[in-house]
Amino acid sequence: MNRAPLVAAVLAWYEENARDLPWRRADASPWAVMVSEFMLQQTPVDRVLGPWRDWMERWPQPAALAAAPAGDAVRAWGRLGYPRRALRLHQAAVTITDEHGGRVPDDRAALLRLPGVGPYTAAAVLSFAFGQRHVVLDTNVRRVLSRVAAGVAYPSPTPTRAEEALAEEFLPSGQAAAARWAVASMELGALVCTARSPRCSSCPVSSACAWQSAGKPAWDGPPRRGQSYTGTDRQCRGVLLAVLRSSDAPVGREELLAGWSEPAQAERALASLLADGLADQVGGRFTLPH
C-alpha cells in the first residue's frame, strides 16, 4: 500500500472537519495539552470540555496546581471518573514545578518520569504540544490502522510491536506533518471510523481501506465486552468520594458509608481509597487528601 496518498487524504479531510477543541488551538500551552490528555483517558470529549475549562481557569500553570492541596484536585475532578488521574496530575505538577522550572518538559525521558505519564501520554504531549515526530497510538488510531491496513474490524486488546511498526510506516518524515497526522488520524477514528457504526461513506480513504475492500468482515477475535459499572467497587468508590467532595469538614465513618447499601463493599472501597491516596484518615474521620 502506498501510504503517502492515504496520509495526504486524511490530512486534507482533517483541515475541513476537525473539531474546534480548545487544547488544539495554536495558543494552547503544553500544560493545557497535558491536562487534556490526562482528562481524556477513557473519557469522551464532551464530558471533558467543561472540567478542562474550569481546571485551566483555576490552575493555568503547573505551579498553580502544585501550590494547591491534592484534595482540591480530586474535588475539581468531579465526575470525570478514574480520580487517581487527578492525584497523578497533581503529583506531576509538583514535579514539573520542582524539577523543570514550572515548564512541561519537551523530552520523552523526562516526561516518562512524571507521575501518571506513560508512553502514550508522553508521545501525545510531545506531538500535540511541541510538534515533534512520534507515533501516537490511542484507541481511535489503532482502529483506523487495523481497518485500513490490516483489514480487520478491531485491533488487539493491547498495542503490539507489529502495530507500532505499522504506525511508524504511516508517520510522515517531517515533524510538522507527523504531528498533524497524529491528530488527524485520531480525529478520523473518533468521528468517522468509529467502533460501532463507522461512516464509511464519509471516509476520505474508504477506497484504499482493506477492511472495506474485503466486505467489512465481522470481528472474529475475542468477544468485545463493555466495562460494567453498576454495583462495582469502582461505583462504590465514586459514591464515597462524592461524599468527601461535598464536605469541607472531615466526615465520620458512619456518614461516609451510609450512601452504599453493601457495608462490606463500602469498607473495601474505603480501604482502597486510603491505599491509593485519594482519602486521608484523621482519627475516626475521613477527608480528601491534603
What is the rounded distance in angstroms from the CA atom of residue 24 to the CA atom of residue 35? Answer: 12
Q: What are the start-end ranges of the H helices in 174-220?
A: 175-191, 210-213
SS3 content of the chain, % helix, strand, coil (to 5): 60, 5, 40
Sign of the Cα torsion 117, 119, 125, 130 reads positive
Q: Is 225 helix (H, G, I), strand (E, B) or coil?
A: coil
Q: Is 181 helix (H, G, I), strand (E, B) or coil?
A: helix
Is 37 considered catalytic here? yes
Q: Is 143 helix (H, G, I), strand (E, B) or coil?
A: helix
C-alpha cell at 100: 523543570
**Given the residues 16, 37, 168, 187, the one annotated as active site:** 37
Q: What angle do CA 23, 117, 221 make, to 5 degrees?
A: 95
How many CB atoms neighbour CB 70 within 10 A?
22
Q: Cβ neighbours of residue 147 under 8 Å, at least 6 residues apart?
A: 153, 193, 198, 209, 210, 211, 212
Phi, psi of 282 (to 5 degrees): -125, 100
Q: Report residue 6 CA to chain centroid gap.
A: 26
Are the C-beta atoms of 142 and 120 separated by less than 8 Å? no
C-alpha cell at 95: 514535579
How many CB atoms neighbour CB 126 within 10 A?
25
What is the rounded distance in angstroms from the CA atom of residue 138 to the CA atom of residue 120? Answer: 7
Q: Please name the residue that has the C-alpha cell 472531615.
A: 250
Catalytic residue IDs = 37
